[in-house]
Amino acid sequence: GESVGLHLPTLSVQEGDNSIINCAYSNSASDYFIWYKQESGKGPQFIIDIRSNMDKRQGQRVTVLLNKTVKHLSLQIAATQPGDSAVYFCAEINTGANSKLTFGKGITLSVRP
């Protein structure tokens, strides 16, 4: 759903299930994408990144998928744990133009025990 004011979209998953967090990015010229996790009162924490010449990249328990045709990015978290509860942001950069990150709307992941 859409975020309105202070209310971020929320994804609620059962502990142990897989989570999929989606993001639509805005700039077709962006060539580098990053997922960040942000816990309450802390700065964004790097999770995983992907360049535009790839469509999939795997890390430990996380996978990022990139679909440039529809400007869509997703983060898959395997075997979701309570410690994964946080706000997740996707961010994009057009490295040929500048170095500033443009963040998407955050999504709150809530893990049910």
Partner 1 sequence: DTGVSQDPRHKITKRGQNVTFRCDPISEHNRLYWYRQTLGQGPEFLTYFQNEAQLEKSRLLSDRFSAERPKGSFSTLEIQRTEQGDSAMYLCASSLAGTGTDTQYFGPGTRLTVL
Residues of the shown chain interacting with partner 1 in the complex, contacts defined by CB under 8 A: 3, 5-8, 32, 34, 36, 41-46, 49, 89, 91, 93, 95, 98-106
Distance CA 11, CA 28 (A): 27
Task: State which residue, 8 or 65, has the beta carbon closest to partner 1.
Answer: 8
As a whole number of angstroms, the distance between CA 62 and CA 21 comes to 11
Q: CB of residue 111 vs partner 1: minimum separation in angstroms?
A: 20
Closer residue to partner 1 (CB): 85 or 113: 85
CA distances from 47 to 4, 58, 88 (A): 26, 11, 9
